[in-house]
Amino acid sequence: MPLDTAQTGPRPGRLASHETRQRLEHARNSRLAQLRALDESAQSTDAHLVSAQTEAIQRVLTEIDEAFARVEDDTYGICQGCAKPVPAERLEILPYTRYCVACQGRAAA
């Protein structure tokens, strides 16, 4: 559903694009480091556990890539559930989130 920017107005809590990209790059680099560490320890660890961890990290990497796309199309920081701004504090902690806390709870249910 396209957003009517006339109705949503300015997003004062929105992070600057440069800072947003830095946060997303940091999140991506952290997950890639985790994948490398898993690859290195794969010989001495339970294969099922490594596989589950790898899949979880790859899902987050996909979410990070999707967040970069939202930055590009200027929808970053807008909840995909309610179309309201996601609080800046939440984006600082989870820069690739698609939802505000309330909508995340509904999406997980």
| pLDDT tens for each residue of 94-105 | 999 999 999 999
- Position 2 in a domain: no
- Position 17 in a domain: yes
Q: What is the pLDDT of residue 44?
A: 65
- Position 39 in a domain: yes
Alpha-carbon torsion (26, 74, 107, 63), positive or negative: negative
In angstroms, the first-to-last Cα distance of the chain is: 22
| pLDDT (average), residues 82-106 | 95
Render pLDDT for 5-38 as a digit per residue (tens, 0 to 9): 444 444 434 556 889 999 999 999 999 999 998 8
Q: What is the pLDDT of residue 46?
A: 77
Better pLDDT: 98 or 49: 98
Tell me if 34 sits within 8 A of 57, measured CB to CB.
Answer: yes
Model-level pTM greater than 0.85?
no
- Position 71 in a domain: yes
Q: What is the pLDDT of residue 68?
A: 96
Q: Which domain holds residue 32?
A: 13-108
Q: In 1-109, which ranges are continuous DSSP H helix?
A: 5-8, 17-41, 47-72, 88-93, 101-108
Q: What is the mean pLDDT of the chain?
A: 84
Q: Residue 89: which CATH number?
A: 1.20.120.910
Structural domain total, the chain: 1
Main-chain phi, psi angles of 55, to 5 degrees: -60, -40
